[in-house]
């Protein structure tokens, strides 16, 4: 582990160590927050990240009796919104709700306006996600092995859809091709909604779809789910194996949603936010809302979020390198 990564984990551990203190000291310390807070979401309104930000933001506002303004700043695969927070005043009043793309982008783009482990302070994971590998009913495969056999019998004839170039689904698709030794045609879509629409209509032979976008259609009977990324089976799909269970490794990193602050935020401020986000994420009604979205609720410490970033960044980078994916 290099010096930057050790510093990152040490910073997160220091914050996490103060969370218990912050939880009881909060009533005595009224200095923060004493004005409205800004929660930047680097994606458009209406998506999963936006929904989670508004859900947690509303609870923060009620707890702290201060407005929490959700500010959608989409663009450049989340880089635009992330950069706003990286360069914001580190006083705890500008927060970020980031997703997995935050640690994928540095491998996909030659130039980045920030360094994730230098310019951000981890606060808490809120939820984990996975991608589902699905096929429309017209495709006869009922298992990953059967789909691989079909693809090997017709190299370059079958397609897989993703919800965009450089997204987790694109990386998973290229990883699938490499690990299974098959040739599929990549069909990138501009988001998950049109991808799901074409899966339902049978216009694409297969797809990696995030579980949140597919969740409403799992019982539609219009497609079959053959595999799931991550380390756990989906509670609504107990018979669907993970890729590792099907004999294909390299699909273990989960997608995630997490809170960050600008690096240099005072520790007591970060402590208080971390403790409050974790408390909110553990509330049964919040967990139920996240589960209803197809997500796995999480209430992590800053150290746990920092470890996810530190451990998974090189794994995504290896997929990008091996598949030779470059977006600029």
Specify the pLDDT at position 102. 98
CATH 3.40.190.10 for domain 131-228, yes or no, is yes
Rounded to an integer, the average pLDDT of 144-162 is: 98
pLDDT value at position 22? 41
Task: Compute the chain's Rg from CA coordinates.
Answer: 20
The pLDDT, as a whole number, for residue 21 is 40
Q: Is the pLDDT of residue 318 over 90?
A: yes
pLDDT given for residue 28 in this prediction: 38
What is residue 15's predicted lDDT score, i.e. its pLDDT? Answer: 61
pLDDT, position 23: 40
- Average pLDDT for residues 212-223, to the nearest whole number? 92
φ, ψ for residue 138, nearest 5 deg: -70, -20
Residue 33, C-beta contacts closer than 8 angstroms, at least 6 positions apart: 64, 66, 92, 93
One fold for 3-129+254-323 and 131-228:
yes
Outline where the chain has alpha helix (H). 3-17, 19-25, 48-64, 79-86, 101-108, 116-119, 144-153, 168-180, 192-201, 211-214, 267-281, 284-292, 302-323
191, pLDDT greater than 50: yes
- Give me the pLDDT at residue 9, please: 58
Domain 3-129+254-323, CATH among 2.70.70.10, 1.10.1370.30, 3.40.190.150, 3.60.21.10: 3.40.190.150
pLDDT over 90, % of the chain:
88
Per residue in 264-275, pLDDT tens?
999 999 999 999
Q: What percent of the chain has pLDDT over 70?
A: 91
Averaged pLDDT, 230-259: 94
Residues 247-256 have pLDDT tens digits of: 999 999 999 9
Q: Examine the pLDDT at 16 and tell me if it is beyond 70.
A: no
Residue 20: predicted pLDDT: 42
Tell me, what's the pLDDT at 328? 80
pLDDT band for position 34 (cuts 50, 70, 90): very high
The rounded mean pLDDT for the chain is 92
**Residue 282: closest CA among 272, 274, 293, 294:** 274
Question: Would the pLDDT of 189 be above 50?
Answer: yes
What is the residue extent of each domain of the chain? Answer: 3-129+254-323, 131-228
pLDDT digits (tens, 9 = 90+) for 278-297: 999 999 999 999 999 999 99
**pLDDT of 137:** 95
Region 93-110 average pLDDT: 97
Query: Do β-strands 131-136 and 37-41 pair in parallel, antiparallel, or remain unpaired?
Result: unpaired
Query: Does residue 10 register a pLDDT over 80?
Result: no
The span from the CA of 101 to the CA of 99, in Å, is 6
pLDDT band at 236, cuts 50/70/90? Answer: confident
Question: In the predicted model, is pLDDT for residue 106 greater than 80?
Answer: yes
């Amino acid at each position: 582990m290099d010096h930057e990564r050790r510093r990152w984990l040490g910073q997160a551990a220091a914050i996490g160590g103060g969370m218990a203190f912050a939880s009881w000291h909060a009533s005595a310390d009224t200095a923060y927050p004493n004005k409205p807070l800004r929660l930047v979401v680097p994606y458009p309104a209406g998506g999963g990240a936006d929904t989670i930000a508004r859900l947690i933001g509303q609870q923060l506002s009620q707890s702290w009796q201060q407005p929490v303004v959700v500010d959608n700043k989409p663009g450049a695969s989340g880089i635009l919104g992330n950069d706003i927070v990286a360069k914001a005043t580190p006083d705890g009043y500008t927060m970020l709700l980031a997703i997995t793309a935050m640690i994928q982008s540095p491998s996909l783009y030659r130039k980045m306006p920030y360094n994730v482990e230098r310019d951000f302070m981890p606060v808490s994971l809120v939820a984990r996600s996975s991608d589902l590998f699905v096929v429309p009913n017209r495709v006869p495969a009922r298992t990953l092995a059967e789909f691989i056999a079909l693809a090997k019998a017709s190299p370059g004839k079958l397609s897989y859809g993703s919800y965009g170039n450089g997204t987790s689904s694109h990386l998973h698709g290229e990883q699938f091709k490499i690990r299974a030794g098959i040739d599929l045609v990549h069909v990138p879509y501009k988001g998950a909604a049109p991808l799901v629409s074409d899966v339902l209509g049978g216009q694409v032979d297969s797809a990696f779809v995030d579980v949140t976008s597919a969740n409403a259609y799992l019982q539609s009977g219009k497609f079959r789910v053959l595999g799931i990324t991550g380390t756990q089976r989906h509670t609504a799909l107990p018979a669907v194996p993970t890729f590792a269970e099907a004999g294909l490794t390299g699909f273990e990193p989960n997608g995630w949603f997490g809170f960050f602050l600008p690096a240099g935020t005072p520790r007591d401020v970060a402590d208080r936010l971390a403790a409050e986000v974790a408390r909110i994420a553990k509330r049964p009604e919040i967990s139920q809302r996240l589960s209803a979205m197809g997500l796995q609720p999480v209430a992590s410490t800053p150290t746990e979020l920092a470890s996810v970033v530190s451990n998974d960044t090189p794994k995504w980078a290896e997929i990008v390198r091996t598949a030779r994916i470059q977006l600029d």
